[in-house]
A = this chain, B = another copy of it.
Amino acid sequence: MGKCEQCIIKQFNSLKSLTKEELVRISSCKTSKTIKKGEVIFEEGEMLNGVYCVKDGICKLSKLSENGKDQIVKMVVKGQLLGQRSLISDESSNLQATALNDMEVCFIPKSEIIKDLQNNSKFSFDVLKEMAHDLKEADDVIVNMAQKHVRQRLAETLVYIHDTFGNNPDGTLSILLSREDFANIVGTATESAIRVLSQFKKDGLISSVGKQIKIENLAGLKRVE
């Protein structure tokens, strides 16, 4: 099993602020897991006893609404941590995590993380900064949900995925999402998401083959109202 001290993934998250000694200690008690596409990593309401460090793959964080729809709140990719919030507030998870493709993750037990949060102020300040950033993003999503149309939210989602998660050599978005996933990000009916994407295609803003989507006119997408 890999050693945390030597793992390059940590430089992308707050674990980079741990000392070598702390990393060695964490390395000795962490466990590696492979998670298959579609598998649930943890459920809404589940008590987490640790955090996951995503070494490879992508997952969605979603919450089931009373109307039976799953609202996707955030996506977590390679390099990021999963489950910190629940761990810190010592509550059961508010969201469900589901793998969007095959994943490699390391699980670090709660007790170890808490120990470091209490002793290493650089680490805890780093976690704090990440949380502050997440909160800002969440506030922005609230405003978008409340004030923008489905068309606009979907256009912005495409731009966001393009800018944040990058794309394949052929220019297609690196993340494969079903139309239903898009609907659940934007907060609309699947049919509506399909309709809007079809329209974007007709308008030459995107092209698509199956789930593979390519942005053809980024500036145009940004102008969608």
Contacts and interface: CB of A to CB of B under 8 A. Distances in A.
B124 A128 contact: yes
B89 A147 contact: no
B142 A131 contact: no
Nearest to A94: B136
Contact of A63 (B63, B117, B132, B143): B143
Contacts of A48: none
A224 to B, nearest CB: 12
A73 interface: yes
B132 A125 contact: no
A65 interface: yes
A146 B66 CA distance: 12
Contact of A132 (B88, B95, B119, B124): B88
Given A118-B125, A125-B124, A132-B131, A142 B147 contact: no
A91 interface: yes
B135 A131 contact: yes
A89 B129 contact: yes
A141 interface: yes
A69 interface: yes
A127 B127 CA distance: 11
A164 interface: no
Contacts of A71: 142-143, 146-147
A129 to B, nearest CB: 6
A102 interface: no
Q: Name the residue among A125, A128, A139, A145 with the largest chain B CB count within 10 angstroms.
A: A139
16 contacts: A71-B146, A85-B136, A88-B129, A89-B129, A91-B136, A94-B136, A118-B121, A121-B121, A128-B131, A134-B135, A138-B138, A142-B142, A142-B145, A145-B146, A145-B187, A146-B188
